[in-house]
Amino acid sequence: MKIKELVEPLRVVKRFVVYTAIAGMGAAGLNLTRPVLLGNIFEGFVKGDSYGSVMLLIILFALSWCATWGLSLLLGYLSTKVKERILARLRTAVLSHLMRLPYAQSEQLPTGKIQAYITSDLPLWSNLYGMILVQIVHSAAQLIGAVVTLLNVNSKLMIILVPFLAISAVIPLIFSRSMIRIHRFAQDAISDTLEKSQCIIHGCRDIISLNIEKWCLKRCTEAFIKSENAEIKRSMAQGTVQVIGAFAENAAYIVVLLIGGWSVFKDSMSVGHLVSFLATIQLIFFPSRNAGDLASAIQSSLAAANRVQEFLSLKPMNEKYTLRTHIEIKNLSYTYPNERKKALDSISCEINQGYFVVILGESGSGKSTLLKIIAGLYEPTEGEMITTGPNIGLPSAVWQDPFLLNASVFDNLALGRDVSERQMKDMAQKLNLDRLIAEMPNQYDTFLLENGRNLSGGQRQRIAIIRSLISSKKCIVIDEPTAGLDMENARKVWDAILDMNKDVTRIVTTHQLDKTHEYADLILVLQEGKLIEYGPPQELLRMNGFFKKLMKR
């Protein structure tokens, strides 16, 4: 990952970063005062200094702790502020990028991986700008201060510490590449675990109905074992680095005790200086001791950042899709990724503003694929779709399995638009939903579960159709609007579509026919991805072809 990409998020919190750095250096300075004060206190007791002078040193020692605790709280606040503000921006960037990708590409991405970015990878990445940044500043300031202090106390002992410090600091650097790979493997395993778990959570009904619980649990167990092995590998690698660092620190203590104790015994070093030196060793080894944990945290953050950057590097759509009043489709073909057979093959037709267009065909004939191209979700792999005339913006779309938010009925219908409740009630009455909403505990303020799980499939479908019909869009595309509806509600849906303003282009797909289709301006009949009939219904009826056979049936 490039340095520029790592530093970029800090631009939005520059002020807080400066405050954090100052507070971190202040905390490091306070830490360095205590070993010196502790050494002077011992020296005062040994020499028999006055009670008042020793008490003053003890009070200063206590005040140093109090000031450190206060700075620690301030550092916690500042670092959390920086991390959470950057985390919010990174999450927004990932979700925004997901919506700017070509839909054919984004729908191929595993949902577990996207969730892992949001819930796991981005918090790890943003840690770089929170406590990790604080620890880096704090450790650097403390290391410099401790080296200066120890050189003033006893330069010979300080030189003896250098090899131990080098071992403690260099080991994490040597293993850094391996640790990044280990962290990457562990995070991929977490992503796979989320993906497999989601299959059971969202598909619980079908899994129970098909009696495949053991098979699904086996798939999940394999993912859990993979995650377990990855975590064990990560834990053992981190533990090994920590043990090496702890060995170097304790070896340094023993050597200083031996040499320093002998110096005290020979009167070439005072007890106070030895105490100060031993207390400062803890501070000078804190950065190197912390280097293992810090390196592990940095490597984990970098591995997460690399994963997210790979996703963010996916090329978005060249320009935002918009529709115009006249649509001309020329020799359009579409092949799904990793497929050989064309889902659509050489489709050509024209659609004018205000047309009521019905796309007919059996399941798998390519109806939904063509609708997704018209809606701007897919781009043709061959041929083109040319739109001319005044710009009417994005079409409003309703798909076979519409998604409802875990929000109120009103919010699901309005979707943030300025829509009156009266307008909603009129449309709900047209689609036979007014009685259902009236019987809800809080009517339009009733909270729907995620994806409308407290509604039937037909009720979800009609709510999605209502929010599309009141969207004030000049083009509406609806995929199988009456799928799963009884005859009465299906008739109401068709009536609502027909009653729309005549300047609104309505394009619907269906494999169910009734007399409504005689009111269509244009019929497109698809079979195995090919357009076999195309024209007004009256013209197709005279052709005595597929459409006429369907109408007779």
| pLDDT computed for residue 222 by the predictor | 84
289-309 pLDDT per residue, tens: 666 567 767 777 888 888 888
526 SS3 class: strand
Examine the domain organization and report whether 291 and 392 are in the same domain: no
Q: Tally the domains of the chain.
A: 2
Report which of 401, 361, 403 is spatially closest to residue 508, judged by C-alpha positions: 361
In a domain, 243, yes or no: yes
In a domain, 24, yes or no: yes
Examine the domain organization and report whether 49 and 105 are in the same domain: yes
Give the CA distances from residue 313 to residues 4, 99, 228, 308, in Å, rounded to whole numbers and listed in that order: 14, 14, 30, 9
Query: Is pLDDT at 404 greater than 90 in this prediction?
Result: no
Residue 451 or residue 114, greater confidence? 114
Domain that holds residue 522: 323-552
Query: Is pLDDT at 443 greater than 80 in this prediction?
Result: yes
In a domain, 508, yes or no: yes
Query: Given strand 382-393, what is the order of strands in its sheet?
Result: 344-351, 323-334, 382-393
Give the pLDDT band (50/70/90) at residue 173. Answer: low
Give the pLDDT band (50/70/90) at residue 347. Answer: very high
d(C-alpha 20, C-alpha 492), whole Å: 63
211-262 pLDDT per residue, tens: 777 877 888 888 888 888 888 887 787 777 777 777 777 787 787 778 777 7
Examine the domain organization and report whether 291 and 393 are in the same domain: no
In a domain, 527, yes or no: yes
In a domain, 318, yes or no: no
Examine the domain organization and report whether 381 and 245 are in the same domain: no
Examine the domain organization and report whether 526 and 452 are in the same domain: yes
Which of 312, 341, 372 is the C-terminal boundary of a domain? 312
Contact by Cβ (8 Å): 71, 19: no
Which of 261, 281, 312 is the C-terminal boundary of a domain? 312
4-23 pLDDT per residue, tens: 666 777 776 677 777 777 77
Asked whether the whole model's pTM tops 0.85, one would answer: no
Examine the domain organization and report whether 276 and 303 are in the same domain: yes
Give the side-chain half-sphere CA count within 13 A for 141: 19
Could you tell me the CATH number of the domain that includes residue 25?
A: 1.20.1560.10
Examine the domain organization and report whether 307 and 330 are in the same domain: no
Contact by Cβ (8 Å): 353, 389: yes
Examine the domain organization and report whether 350 and 282 are in the same domain: no
Give the pLDDT band (50/70/90) at residue 330. Answer: very high
Examine the domain organization and report whether 264 and 329 are in the same domain: no
In a domain, 127, yes or no: yes
31-83 pLDDT per residue, tens: 777 777 777 777 777 777 777 887 888 888 888 888 878 877 887 788 888 88
* Residue-averaged pLDDT of the chain: 81
Examine the domain organization and report whether 97 and 47 are in the same domain: yes
In a domain, 292, yes or no: yes
Could you tell me the CATH number of the domain that includes residue 452?
A: 3.40.50.300
Which of 273, 290, 312 is the C-terminal boundary of a domain? 312
The percent of residues above 90 in pLDDT, for the chain, comes to 10
In a domain, 227, yes or no: yes
d(C-alpha 55, C-alpha 42), whole Å: 12
Examine the domain organization and report whether 542 and 485 are in the same domain: yes
Examine the domain organization and report whether 415 and 384 are in the same domain: yes
| Chain position carrying tokens 């595309």 | 477
